[in-house]
Structure 1
Amino acid sequence: MNKLLGIMAAIDRVLAFIIKPIVVLISLAVAFMLAYGIFSRSVLQVPVFGLEELVLLGAMWLYMLGAALASRERSHLSADFIQVICKNQAVIRVMHMVATIISLFMACMFATWSYDLLEWGISRGQTSTVLKLPWYLSQSSLFLASLLFIFYLIRDFISDLRDFCYPEQAKTTAVPEQH
């Protein structure tokens, strides 16, 4: 299990190396476009047509890649009340596995749905109103994020399973530390 987690950790480092700068660039671009749009509309009295389409496209990618990074660090929203009401580490580990399995199932459903949406968007050839950007540019963010969710949830399940089967190894984990 540790060898597989090591391979997944190496893949994770590459993914993080790619995704983090993209998130920063998209964040800066969205912030700049929003500020420019507000300045242009309120000070210059000249609306910038199509800017909202670019902001929406950037926001979709930013939200989905940000969610993937949260999944990577296991810092996404969760309701871990089991640790509050139960001190038995075996029960806590089982509940972590159950939660991961449920999340993995939901991520697979999300991947199926987002793939169907992406395929539909490509086949229809629909575009945005002003800039004529293909809809699949934003729809693809959903599909990519769902694949990343599945990758990280499989990693988390393997880690949870290892922690359950070998509690003495629970301290060493392939999940990156939160900063």
Structure 2
Amino acid sequence: MERLANVLLTSLICLVAGGQFVQVITRYLLEIPVLGLEESLIYPTLWLYILGAVNASRENSHIRANVLEIFLKTPRQFALLAIVGEVLSLAIGLWLTWWAWDFTRYSLRVWRESPTLYIPTFYADVALVTGLGLMMLYTAIHLIGHIREFATAEEKANG
């Protein structure tokens, strides 16, 4: 799974960077802008952004401001704080995923198209529900891991 994520993210970033490079060369050096290039780059850019967030969730490497950790002393307290954080993340994330699912259904029903190239915007809109769904899966996996850490820390504390 990690290899697939790395290949996909690398491909998307190369595509976006290559498209921007072409845009800069044609627009500013050749003074011939490519019609629709910016519009077509929105799709891989959006997927790159969402899948980057999914990757951070998979790696459990989101930026956190864990100020409460300053006051904690034992591994059990750290695990409990992590459990509370994951439960809150899961609750909020599931609500957002439900909202994104409603938006995806709306997008499918309306079937809007981009203004210049007439690319269906559904292909970009579906990224949100896909990304949030995957992030919630990884959050649940991390929650289970923190619950196991808490149980292990409790066993060690009791002897």
TM over 0.5: yes
Contact (CA 8 Å) 1:60, 1:141: kept in 2 or not?
A: yes
1:115 paired with 2:107, answer no
The alignment's TM-score, normalised by the length of structure 2, stands at 0.92
Q: Which structure: greater helix fraction?
A: 2
Q: Which amino acid aligns with 1:152?
A: Y
The alignment's TM-score, normalised by the length of structure 1, stands at 0.82
Alpha carbons of structure 1 residues 158 and 169: separation in structure 2 relative to 1, 3 Å: farther
Q: Corresponding residue for 1:159?
A: 145
* Mean Cα deviation higher: 60-69 or 46-55: 46-55
For 1:120 and 1:19, how far apart are their aligned partners in 2?
A: 28
The CA deviation at 1:97 is 0.3
Q: Corresponding residue for 1:25?
A: 11
The CA deviation at 1:99 is 0.3
Q: CA RMSD in A?
A: 1.7
Q: Which amino acid aligns with 1:128?
A: S
Contact (CA 8 Å) 2:76, 2:154: kept in 1 or not?
A: no
For 2:6 and 2:80, how far apart are their aligned partners in 1?
A: 32
The CA deviation at 1:82 is 2.2
The CA deviation at 1:168 is 8.0
Pick one of 32, 41, 49 that aligns with 1:63: 49
For 1:167 and 1:91, how far apart are their aligned partners in 2?
A: 9
Contact (CA 8 Å) 1:82, 1:92: kept in 2 or not?
A: no
Q: Which amino acid aligns with 2:72?
A: C
Equivalent residue runs for 1:66-145 within 5 Å = 66-145=52-131
Q: Which amino acid aligns with 2:106?
A: W
For 1:116 and 1:20, how far apart are their aligned partners in 2?
A: 30
Q: Which amino acid aligns with 1:85?
A: F
For 2:155 and 2:119, how far apart are their aligned partners in 1?
A: 50
Secondary structure (helix, strand or coil) at the match of 1:166 reads helix
Contact (CA 8 Å) 1:122, 1:136: kept in 2 or not?
A: yes
Aligned pairs, how many?
A: 156
Q: Corresponding residue for 1:47?
A: 33
Alpha carbons of structure 1 residues 169 and 143: separation in structure 2 relative to 1, 3 Å: farther
| Structure 1: gaps spanning 5 or more residues | 1-13, 171-179
For 1:62 and 1:47, how far apart are their aligned partners in 2?
A: 24
For 2:155 and 2:37, how far apart are their aligned partners in 1?
A: 51
| Structure 2: gaps spanning 5 or more residues | none
Pick one of 38, 42, 52 that aligns with 2:24: 38
